[in-house]
């Protein structure tokens, strides 16, 4: 049985790694905002500019609901369909007056707390089709994972046992500075009531307890936060 599980883990990791070159990736910013309306206005102005209309990036602004002692009040996710698309976006913005205007406005209305590059792994569960709210809630759990293959196998096994169809995914993190994070998990729901119901389902699921036992020595949770989406551009 151990050989079968190990083989499945290696296959899952191999399939995941082979798809990463073309998977969605981007930058996740945590920011401390002093003027929320100005941030929204700046992003709107850029997206409506001649440069912004050419951008293929998906930009999502969210408000922090809970993030411990972290001073960030909001988050900004900027993602691209691939690394090549990210390169194209950087080239598009280079020397752009529209981009310079956006950067100036953001410096006046917000202070950056952190930034993390992320890349999806295509290890997912549930369906994004069940998210119908314009303001969904997402929990981000950032971790230091010492054995990604074993973690992926344990996570996939646990998720296959649950009744909920709320979307969840495992992503890789890079460029974290001094932060000791390698991966993260995102769990989304239409509202906190749905999210709480999922917590209760997990507590009553023996597979959840088994999952926690199986990963306790290979992953350490470094950051845990809840956000609510305020607005998205390009999605």
For the cut 80, the answer to whether the pLDDT of residue 4 exceeds it is no
What's the mean pLDDT in 82-103?
96
Mean pLDDT of 4-21: 46
The helix/strand/coil state of 109 is helix
The pLDDT score that the predictor gives to residue 175 is 87
Alpha carbons within 13 angstroms on the beta-carbon side of residue 148 total: 18
Predicted pLDDT at 22: 74
- Per DSSP, helices labelled H in the chain are 2-19, 36-47, 83-93, 97-109, 148-159, 192-203, 206-215
* C-alpha span between 43 and 8 (Å, rounded): 44
Q: 2-233 adopts what CATH topology?
A: Alpha-Beta Plaits (3.30.70)
Q: What is the mean pLDDT of residues 127-135?
A: 97
Per-residue tokens: 80? 């691209």
- Residue-level pLDDT at 37: 98
What proportion of the chain, given as a percentage, has pLDDT over 90? 86
At 22, list the tokens: 């073309």
**First-to-last CA distance in the chain?**
43
Predicted pLDDT at 7: 44
How many residues comprise the chain?
235
- Please compute the mean of the pLDDT values over residues 63-88 and round it to a whole number: 96
Q: What is the mean pLDDT of the chain?
A: 91
Domain ranges of the chain: 2-233
Question: What is the spatial distance between Cα 62 and Cα 202, in angstroms, rounded to a whole number?
Answer: 26
Residue-wise pLDDT tens digits, 156-198: 999 999 999 999 999 999 988 777 899 999 999 999 999 999 9
Residue pLDDT, tens place only, 50-64? 999 999 999 999 999
Pair 143, 130: CB distance under 8 Å: no
The least confident of 2-6, 34-38, 180-184, 209-213 is 2-6
pLDDT on residue 210: 96
The pLDDT of residue 15 is above 90: no
How is residue 60 written in tokens?
Answer: 């999502």
Whether the predicted pLDDT of 18 surpasses 70: no
Q: What's the rounded Cα separation, in Å, for the pair 117 and 98?
A: 23
Handedness of CA 99, 100, 102, 106 (dihedral sign): positive
Higher per-residue confidence, 15 vs 87: 87
Integer Cα distance of 61 and 67 in angstroms: 16
Is 69 strand, coil or helix?
coil
Average pLDDT estimate for 84-89: 96
Whether pLDDT at 231 is above 60 = yes
pTM over 0.85: yes
* Residue 9: pLDDT over 80: no
Give the pLDDT of residue 21. Answer: 56
The CA angle 217-169-182, to the nearest 5 degrees, is: 45
66-89 average pLDDT score: 96
């Amino acid at each position: 049985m151990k050989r079968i599980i190990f083989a499945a883990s290696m296959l899952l990791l191999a399939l995941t790694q082979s798809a990463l070159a073309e998977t969605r990736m981007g930058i996740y910013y945590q920011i401390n905002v002093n003027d929320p309306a100005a941030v929204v206005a700046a992003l709107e102005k850029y997206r409506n500019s001649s440069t912004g209309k050419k951008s293929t990036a998906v930009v999502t602004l969210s408000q922090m609901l809970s993030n411990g002692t972290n001073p960030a009040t909001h988050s900004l996710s900027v993602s691209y369909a691939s690394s090549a698309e990210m390169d194209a976006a950087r080239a598009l913005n280079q020397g752009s007056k529209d981009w310079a205007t956006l950067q100036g406005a953001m410096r006046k209305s917000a202070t950056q707390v952190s930034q993390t590059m992320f890349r999806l792994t295509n290890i997912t569960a549930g369906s994004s089709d069940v998210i119908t709210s314009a303001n969904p809630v997402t929990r981000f759990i950032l971790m230091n994972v010492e054995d990604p293959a074993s973690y992926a196998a344990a996570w996939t096994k646990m998720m296959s046992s649950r009744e909920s169809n709320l979307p969840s995914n495992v992503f890789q993190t890079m460029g974290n500075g001094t932060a000791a994070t390698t991966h993260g998990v995102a769990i989304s729901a239409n509202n906190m009531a749905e999210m709480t119901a999922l917590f209760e389902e997990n507590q009553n699921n023996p597979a959840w307890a088994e999952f926690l036992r199986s990963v306790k020595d290979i992953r350490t949770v470094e950051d845990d936060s809840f956000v609510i989406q305020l607005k998205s551009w390009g999605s």
